[in-house]
Amino acid sequence: MELHTYEKEFFDLLKKISHYEEAVVLMHWDLRTGAPKNGAEDRAESIGQLSADIFNMKTSKRMKELLDALYEKFEELPEDTKKAAEWAKKDYEENSKIPEKEYKEYVVLSSKAETVWEDAKEQSDFSLFAPYLKQLIEYNKRFITYWGYEGHPYNTLLDLFEPGLTVDVLDELFSELKKAIIPLVKKVSASTNKPDTSFIHQSFSKKKQKDLSLYFLKELGYDFNGGRLDETVHPFATTINRGDVRVTTRFDENDFRTAIFGTIHECGHAIYEQNIDEALSGTNLSDGASMGIHESQSLFYENFIGRNENFWKTYYPKMKEASPEQFRHVALEEFVLAVNESKPSLIRVQADELTYPLHIIIRYEIEKAIFSNEVSVEELPALWNQKYEEYLGITPPNDAQGILQDVHWACGDFGYFPSYALGYMYAAQLKNKMLEDLPEFDTLVEKGEFQQIKEWLTEKVHVHGRRKKPLEIIKEATGEELNVRYLIEYLKNKYSNLYLS
């Protein structure tokens, strides 16, 4: 066959895989947004079967033959075909090393584990989830032996979410971040300049919060013709396909920040997916470059826009309109200080900008210990509590507010957490560069004119999908390698001004 015939069949196979993936993603979305619990067992089996089919297609004899044919004349291929072939080859080599039976068992286990995790969290009882977590860890350790690793075994898991990332690199970045942040957290905690946050915990109706969430999504540029907003236990954005990118949030009538900032955070994820080059639809390039790059977009929207004082100069009246009694005697300045409050807290998704990276570092260090065989599953709650006391000066009173707070381990997503902190570093570096190109950034935010900001991010990040690797995107967008200094400077400036001036 001629090269273009192999190329066409290759992309046809990728499209077929994407159709199956769409079904699985839709089932996962349903699972997390209120699917009946009685159907959990059968639903897990269905997800497992479809996932096994995807696995088989990615590791099929025909996929291998197509890749071999394409690589024979690799230099003659169009750039997008080269990139798609590289990703497909990576998938093939990773997946073909795992026995199909084990892979299917693992997918079924993780689907069941999510449902058990919800119950365990609700009852604040880690012992309910522990047997599932133990099995998930054992599977991942086996997978690492199949895949092989260089240096630390955790490197293999990191590479699944952030290609090219290693423990050595993270240890250096996180060491520098800890060195700067922990003393600042202590100074801020000791400061007498504390905002009044009592009004935050007054009743704010769920319906009004949902109305506001929908309003902010529209204002920021989220396309409702290609998405929707739903409620879930743990907020997320998910891509069914490029024209169907859904956002979820969680409502707390005694703390509006959970929904408002959670929605803005997920909006950043969704806008990224909605603006990937349409030409990549149905291919393995129609996705975010990495989890870290994805987090850079959600954190950019949540923190650099949503927590920006200039944003609230325009939008605070909408909050007052939605809950007039709550904000009647709260001036704009007081509101801004309160929503930027910094104090050690137990829950990552509710953490302020300053303490947030410490939550990620704690989880990273625990995961690294798990895959170094330094800690057993039974010892994890104690280790978790110990690190929260060491880094943040607080100890979780129960499992729900401690080790059970996040769904990621139930999904089997080990190696994922560092992406959150990397995303914060990426975001700060992108913001620094954006200010050179758009010095009127704060004015645009104050006016509620986000189009230029979105266009800049689309040009530098969104449109590329997986055509470029994370560090390549950062280097081309900012003109330099990843540099943690921009995040450190941002946090020092912001919280010194708020608390120490």
Cβ neighbors of 373 (< 8 A, separation 6 or more) are: none
Cα-flanking dihedrals φ and ψ of residue 148, to 5°?
Answer: 85, 165
- Residue 220 vs residues 273, 303, 447, 466: alpha-carbon distances, Å: 14, 13, 12, 24
Catalytic residue among 266, 273, 302, 341: 266
Sheet containing strand 229-231, edge to edge, reads 229-231, 244-249, 237-241
Report the alpha-carbon distance of residue 292 to residue 299 in Å, rounded.
10
Report the alpha-carbon distance of residue 337 to residue 307 in Å, rounded.
10
3-class DSSP state of 467: coil
User: Exposure pattern of 370-402 as b/e (b: 16+ CB <10 Å)?
Assistant: bbeeebebeebbebbbebbeebbeeebeebbbb
**Contact (CB, 8 A) for 121 and 400:** yes
Report the alpha-carbon distance of residue 104 to residue 43 in Å, rounded.
13
**Contact (CB, 8 A) for 316 and 335:** yes
479 sits in the region (left: phi over 0; alpha: psi -120 to 50; else beta) called: left
**Contact (CB, 8 A) for 146 and 96:** no
Residue 20, classified by CB atoms within 10 Å of its CB into exposed (0-12), middle (13-18) or buried (19+), is: middle
CA angle 286, 234, 455 (to 5 degrees): 40
Report the alpha-carbon distance of residue 77 to residue 140 in Å, rounded.
35
Report the alpha-carbon distance of residue 364 to residue 295 in Å, rounded.
16
What's the start-to-end Cα distance of the chain, in Å? Answer: 72
176 is catalytic: no
Q: Which residues are catalytic?
A: 266
